[in-house]
Structure 1
Amino acid sequence: MKESYFNFKDSYMKMKVKVAARQLSQTMAAAIETFHSSGHLKSDSLHTAEFCHLMDNLFDSLNSSQVRNHEGRKFRSALSGNSPHLEFWYDMLSKINRWKIFDKQGKLRNNFKFVDGWLTSIRAIILLWKKLQLQGITFLNLRNLNQDPLENFFGQIRQHGVCNTNPTCQQFVAAMKTLIINNLSSPLSKSRNCEDDFYEFLGNFGKFIEKYSDTIDQTPETSCSNTIVDTPDSTDEIFLEQNYATAYVAGYILSKVDVLDCVQCRNNLFSNDVILNQHLFVTFKENDERTRLNYPSERSAQLLV
């Protein structure tokens, strides 16, 4: 989250879907619940956290890209006959119809088009799924229904050259030919409004012309040392907010590290007690009762400070 996501000095910022997706995410809900548990927020803040959970699930349910759920997020899976999507959508249709939206002056407004957009999208997908089931379709990845690949492609066309924002037909064709040869590998803009679509060409021109050479990967042997880094035994002097974030980031780093099969190493890197105060935010980030995230020890968290 950034300060610019709440203070819209840039008129284009409030048009970006990713801003709303991050404001109404599970991470935001976990942060609110964490500060409520620590006494920094009042009890009515939990209503905001509940709304963030609902919207996060709604985004997930309409943006699935895998057949099975991803890391316990049941709505991130593909739509199927026994998936929870339909029951959730019918419940959201009734909730969205009861939304009351007020403007900055506190007046009730009914002219927000995004409400009708949500209702239309949900009803259209339910109708489409019923028709696909009659054709024998067993599952549907809903990310395939959005226009992100097309927007990403046009974005790469606009990046071809210095600033190709308004190309002619000839310039568009030339840029498209170059992108095809480069296998659409030009980097996407940081200010884009779409997620990576992860689509690839069936053929790769780069592999056609590259030369292969036989190389032997000589990986040096790793050894486990009994030397432990001398770090402070307590993080009491760290601010509570920083402590929550540090523990979460340390756990993410540990998930990317290939830890040796050494009991002493794991005992020093990971915490055996997941109920430590510094792990409060990490526990709220779990998608269900199963433990999937890493809980670092105080030594590991201290190394990031």
Structure 2
Amino acid sequence: MNVGLAAQVLSKSVADMFKTLRKSKEKQDTSIYDDTTETEKFCRYFNYLFDCLNTRQLYEAEDKRNDAMLPYKSKDDLRLKWLANDFLTYLESWQNYAQTRTDLSRDERNKLTLSHQTIEGLKITVYSFLELIPFLLSLQGAKFVLSEKFNQDGVEIFFAKQRARCGRGDNPTAKQFMHNTQAIRTTKSLSFGSSSNIRKRKLSLNVDELSQPIRKKARNK
């Protein structure tokens, strides 16, 4: 599964679609969209969350006209307050509402919300982010923070290459692991595969090219 494509479902465009269809007067049967208010809110909240956690460049927000993708320059950033006050409260209220439905069984109540593991993962991510941004900005010389740099793509690539080198063996020894690591370094195979589910990045390397080939040195006879 491509995570980047899957995340695009929870976008502002999808939320706007629900809102437009609810208010549409051209189509006769729009009653099926009457109960999509919370779905629209869910898409907007997670779209904004993804934008807050994926600021990649200094001027990307201007290019895309999206203030949520501005670099973090202050510990009092409004996005941090939104994460702490709005997003976390949204998750808590949603979870509490589902658990108060006494007319449903336990399994049915659990199906009304995200899984417990997903909610805990979101909370850990947001709480860590709220602590990390002010700390980094307090360091001497730190002028801004790009949140997209907090990712584990490099780790995922590394272990994907490890699994590929192990073949059918899924329980390598420490010696095999170190041997595979050395082979990965030697072959420079830490690259993005065509089927990887992470965002591809362009590496900018400054290579000095000589206009003339190097002259061969005369051998001492």
Normalised TM-score (structure 2): 0.64
Q: Cα distance, 1:152 vs. partner?
A: 1.7
1:170 is displaced (CA, Å) by: 4.5
SS at match of 1:146: coil
**2:56–2:146: 8 Å Cα contact kept in structure 1?**
yes
Following TM superposition, by how much is the alpha carbon of 1:20 offset from its aligned partner in structure 2, in angstroms?
6.0
Task: Render the CA deviation track for 1:95-150: whole Å, top value 9, x for unaligned.
Answer: 22212347895326898133233223222222222222332422112222222211
Equivalent residue for 1:113, pick from 114, 117, 133? 117
Are residues 1:32 and 2:18 paired? Answer: yes
2:132 to 116, 128, 135: 128
Higher helix residue share? 2
Give the secondary-structure state (helix, strand or coil) at the position aligned to 1:140. coil
Aligned equivalents of 2:175, 2:127: Cα separation in 1: 41
Q: Which position in structure 1 is the counterpart of 2:201? A: 198
Task: Give the alignment of 1:74-223 within 5 angstroms.
Answer: 74-81=67-74, 83-90=77-84, 91-100=86-95, 101=98, 105-107=107-109, 112-136=116-140, 137-160=142-165, 165-184=170-189, 186-188=191-193, 190=195, 192=196, 194-196=197-199, 198=201, 200=203
- Contact conserved, 1:79 with 1:139, CA < 8 A, in 2? yes
How many angstroms apart in 1 are the aligned matches of 2:49 and 2:39?
Answer: 15
What is the distance in 2 between the residues matched to 1:212 and 1:169? 47
User: Does the C-alpha gap of structure 1 residues 154 and 187 become closer, same or farther in structure 2, counting only changes over 3 Å?
Assistant: same
Instruction: Tell me, in whole angstroms, the C-alpha distance in 1 between the residues paired with 2:121 and 2:176.
Output: 35
Structure scoring higher RCO (CA < 8 A, sep ≥ 6) equals 2
Which letter maps to 2:87? M
Instruction: Give unmatched runs, 5+ long, in structure 1.
Output: 1-12, 214-305
Distance 1:172 1:201 in 2: 30
Q: Is the 8 A contact 1:158 1:166 kept in 2?
A: no
Distance 1:129 1:144 in 2: 12
Q: Distance in 1 between matches of 2:162 and 2:193?
A: 10
State the Cα deviation string for residues 4-50 of structure 1 (Å, max 9, x = none).
Answer: xxxxxxxxx7xx86576244233432443454446455233243122
User: What are the equivalent positions in structure 2 for 1:216-295 lying under 5 Å apart?
Assistant: none
| Shift in alpha-carbon separation, 1:169–1:152, aligned structure 2, 3 A | same
C-alpha separation in 2, matches of 1:17 and 1:117:
16
Q: Percent identity?
A: 22
Cα pair 2:58 2:70 within 8 Å, conserved: yes
Unmatched runs of 5 consecutive residues or more in structure 2: 100-104, 213-221
Could you list the per-position Cα deviations for residues 177-226 of structure 1 after superposition, in whole angstroms to 9, with x for gaps in the alignment? Answer: 44334443644262x4x5226275979xxx89x9999xxxxxxxxxxxxx
Question: What corresponds to 1:59 in structure 2?
Answer: 50
SS in 1 for 2:108: coil
Superimposed CA distance per residue, residues 149-171 of structure 1 (whole angstroms, 9 cap, x where no aligned partner): 11122112323475675444444
Q: CA deviation at 1:92?
A: 1.4
CA distance in 2, matches of 1:178, 1:95: 47
SS at match of 1:24: coil
**How many residue pairs are counted as aligned between the two chains?**
193
Deviation at residue 54 of structure 1 after TM alignment = 0.9
